[in-house]
Amino acid sequence: MKKLETRKYFEKLHDLFFKKFVKDDRGRENTFKRENLINILSPGRVNIIGEHTDYNLGFSIPIAVNKYIVLTGKANDSDIVEVYSEYFDSFYRFPLSDITFDKNVKWVNYLKGVIREYIQGGFKISGFSMVIGGNLPMGTGMSSSAALEVGVAKFLEELFNLNINREEIIKYCNSAENNFVGVSCGFLDQFTVVYGEEGNAIFLNFKDLSYKYIPFDLKDNIILIIDSKEERNLSSTGYNKRRDECREAVKIISSIAKNKNIYSLSDIDLDLLCRLKERLSDKLFKRARHVITENRRVLLSKGYLIKGNIEKLGLILLESHNSLKYDYEVSTEKLDFLVDEIAKIKGVYGARLMGAGFGGSVISIVKKDKIDSIVDIIGSNFFKKFAVTPNFIECLPSNGTKRVKY
């Protein structure tokens, strides 16, 4: 995945915008000026550690990364939203008076959901034209959906001069994904895309959304994402079922322990869980054990990051993967193969499945000077096993969603 040359890419999108929305409309052409376009750069996110802890009110350590969804556009003096996606070579048009879920064009629902949230929130929105592109891959566990949602939110804020703070943006975008798209996600993705900071990771407490920046000095290393090309769609996988299982475990444990202060799995310690093991189904016990031990791994990782101990952080990644594989059961044969194979290579500091699981990608931390050999070895072995060549994505911590002017 090549580095995004931001200025050149926006120039490309401006040309695309002109071609799609201006060229055949003389009235628009007379008023078209590139400097009037609103340009938004919205990063993907990588979760270093802390998977499935967000909706369980625990901890995680994510970063925004230097792979982006890019948006450009302007108001069109109508009640119509018209958008072209470079990703899908797809054009879509709808009136603001009729924002309905489209089961056939899934990508547009993220945009629709955010617009609907803003309108329901009392913000005045009118029609606009937009082009969407970028180099952030979709369906890999790097939160392209959150990048798009927050990118659209920032675009609306800038285009219509809305008075809205970052916390509200996160809540509106999260609500759009939960209530319009139909994925019951926590706040991790949207929060990271909004609050990301170059050179830093974020230690995030989901109980109150408090956070702290942690210096993330990779030194001679880099984050390497390996996309298995195993497609996933969280709205149709076991993701929502895992949330239901966690809620059920909390309800049972709270009742047995007669503790009204237990609201989430993050309110339960491992000793209590083990004492109640015989009172829970094996499945619910394992789900709870993953969340509780994953929170512990996040706290250990925080300390390792502060000390700059990448080696021990890598071991934590491997522990996390095993927990996601055996206790939370969200891994796949392809993801397990990638983790097992890359962990054998010298110059690799651990790896694990990234994101919700059920397909997608693996995150690893590797030596920069070993990238070429890692790509060759893993690419060859994976192809021999599955007849598919994975994608390799190098990334570093980035700033959150922002407007850029060109």
Q: How many CB atoms lie within 10 A of CB 388?
A: 13
Active site residues: 189
What does each C-alpha distance from 365 to 318, 350, 362, 368 come to in angstroms? 11, 6, 10, 9
- List, in order, residues 6 or more apart from 374 with CB less than 8 Å away: 224, 342, 345, 347, 348, 366, 392
Q: What stretch of H or E contains 376? A: helix 371-386
Structure tokens at 52: 């499935």
What does each C-alpha distance from 154 to 23, 71, 124, 350 come to in angstroms? 26, 10, 15, 35
Structure tokens at 210: 């408090």
Return d(Cα 353, Cα 331) in angstroms, integer. 7
**Residue 139, SS3 per DSSP:** coil
Q: What angle do CA 34, 40, 43 make, to 5 degrees?
A: 150
Return d(Cα 226, Cα 345) in angstroms, integer. 14
